Amino acid sequence: MVGPVHVAMIEQATETQTPEVTEPAVTERHEQLRELASQSWNLELVISGAALYATLSLPELLDSALNYYRYNLMLNNDYFHDILPIQVIGLSKGACYVLFAAFLVNFIMRAFWVGLVGLLAVYPDGIKYDQIYNLSQYAQKEYARRMGRLSDYAIRLDQRCNVIFALAFMLTITLLGVAFLYCILVVSVTLIQWLLSPTAYATFERIATPILLGFFVVYMIMMLVMNLPKFRDNPRLAPASFKLTQASSLMFLGLYRPAVYILFTFYSQIPKAILQRRLLTFTLFFTGVLIVSMVIEITQHSGAVSAFDGRSFITFRDPGRTADANSFDNLRPASELIKKASIQSDVIREPYIRLFIAYPKMLDAELNKRFIEPTWSDTLTKEEKRKERASWYLQTFAKYFQVAMNDSVYQQPEYLFTQRPDNDQRGLTTVLPAENLPVGKNVLKLTVPDSASKPKMYYQIPFWYIPEK
């Protein structure tokens, strides 16, 4: 994304090259770059407009990816498997919003810049302050001193457009770098969980978090110490300081080099005092985006009321008193995955309730702890073994999930394996009689055994029962 300022900078760089550098091939490349720079502003407007739409579409895709992961791939609900992926999505969505803001600001400023360039084409002399009849001579001089020439303002506006893009991409690369680091942690912990036994993984889970946190703190302290002038400029310690800094490139994967190009350009072109103020502003802004993105994403997936919501007398933390649209087939979008369970409607008029219980991948670990598959007789055929195994699976679910309506427990309802046609989600379906329910609000409750085999609440669905007359 370049404009006239880039053309001038490229020309100046070409003129100041040494004879060794200005070989014919290099000179030709500079000529091509000047021509590209003089014609790229129109493409910049097109790219910005297209990117505005694209960056607004990405958060929805990221939410879909997170829902798919949590249902089909998540093995545990610990910090590494549950919270870290949410933070990855929060950082990625934060990067999308930063890019959207940058594209929007750039689009507006660049469109205004195009108008100024067109105005200069009509009036090459720009503003003639001494000919503005409704200003005093003093005002004419002050405006001329403060505002300057129109062409200079157009150049400054072009500079700001390009700086906005550079800063936005720098922040985006940083956010994505942290997100990539979290992804590496999630994948690594998942592989470790597959390799270790449940007992060994529980031990690893208990000690891994403080170890990783301690490693990060030590690394940051070493980075700060080794970048002090007396260590950084020491001929003996300079290689170690450089390698320690380069270690952070692993976090950014393939984005490290573009980030360094942008960062070093600012370091080499902006005076130290101004640069320090801008870096402080950038750091504070990055930290703010980081915290806000994570808080919003975690809040949304935990069911808590948003911190930015000023309503004092409402909470979504009590499932038995919350009408969650995800729990009802008639209110939930067809493509949306069911969190834990659902029924056909928030208002039941039929004499039955059709209950669907989702089967997330995470449930495998819990079921494997409690139920051991029998050893099937070798005399059974494959078809017979398949039927026996399916029957045992359904009995397992009937023992694990306890279904109650208000205070009455259904005695082991009969389940069927189900793959929903609207979103291909897999789970269990059963039909519960509802003739004896009281008219009005009722609560369907799902409980599962805890570590001591006592019932604990798994999910609740409040609904209204109003039978047809």
- pLDDT tens digit sequence for 232-243: 788 888 888 888
Q: Give Cβ neighbours of residue 326 (< 8 Å, ≥ 6 apart).
A: 332, 336, 338, 339, 342
Task: List beta partners, residue 440.
Answer: 465
Predicted confidence band of residue 260 (pLDDT cuts 50, 70, 90) = confident
d(CA 437, CA 282) in angstroms, rounded, equals 60
Asked whether 468 and 349 are in contact (CB, 8 A), the reply is yes
Predicted confidence band of residue 359 (pLDDT cuts 50, 70, 90) = very high
User: What pLDDT is recorded for position 42?
Assistant: 63
Residue 45, domain member (yes or no): no
Query: Does 88 share its domain with 142?
Result: yes
Residue 95, domain member (yes or no): yes
Predicted confidence band of residue 22 (pLDDT cuts 50, 70, 90) = very low
Query: Does 291 share its domain with 375?
Result: no
Residue 298, domain member (yes or no): yes
Among 269, 302, 335, give the residue marking a domain's end: 302
- At 217, which amino acid appears? V
Query: Does 139 share its domain with 246?
Result: yes
Among 302, 329, 355, give the residue marking a domain's end: 302
Residue 59, domain member (yes or no): no
Residue 53, domain member (yes or no): no
- The H or E element containing residue 357 is strand 352-358
User: What pLDDT is recorded for position 15?
Assistant: 40
Question: pLDDT > 70: what percent of the chain?
Answer: 85
Asked whether 226 and 240 are in contact (CB, 8 A), the reply is yes
Q: Give Cβ neighbours of residue 133 (< 8 Å, ≥ 6 apart).
A: none
3-class secondary-structure state, position 338: coil
d(CA 175, CA 178) in angstroms, rounded, equals 5
Mean of pLDDT over the chain: 80
Query: Does 368 share its domain with 273?
Result: no
Residue 52, domain member (yes or no): no
Residue 194 is encoded by which pair of tokens? 């597959």
Residue showing tokens 């995800």: 326
Query: Does 228 share its domain with 337?
Result: no
**What is the average pLDDT across 274-295?**
75
Residue 94, domain member (yes or no): yes
Query: Does 410 share its domain with 456?
Result: yes
Query: Each residue of 157-167: b (16+ CB within 10 Å) or e?
Result: bbeebbebbbb
d(CA 353, CA 343) in angstroms, rounded, equals 7
3-class secondary-structure state, position 341: strand
pLDDT tens digits, one per residue of 242-252: 888 777 776 66
d(CA 217, CA 204) in angstroms, rounded, equals 20
Query: Does 293 share its domain with 343?
Result: no
Query: Does 297 share its domain with 329?
Result: no
Report the domain count for the chain.
Answer: 2
User: What pLDDT is recorded for position 165?
Assistant: 74
Q: Provide the residue range defining the domain that includes 282.
A: 75-302
Query: Does 91 share its domain with 196?
Result: yes
Query: Does 264 share its domain with 356?
Result: no
d(CA 17, CA 12) in angstroms, rounded, equals 9
**What is the average pLDDT across 122-150?**
88
Does the pTM exceed 0.75? no
- At 407, which amino acid appears? D
pLDDT tens digits, one per residue of 34-53: 555 555 566 666 767 777 77
Query: Does 135 share its domain with 256?
Result: yes
Query: Does 282 share its domain with 203?
Result: yes
Residue 156, domain member (yes or no): yes
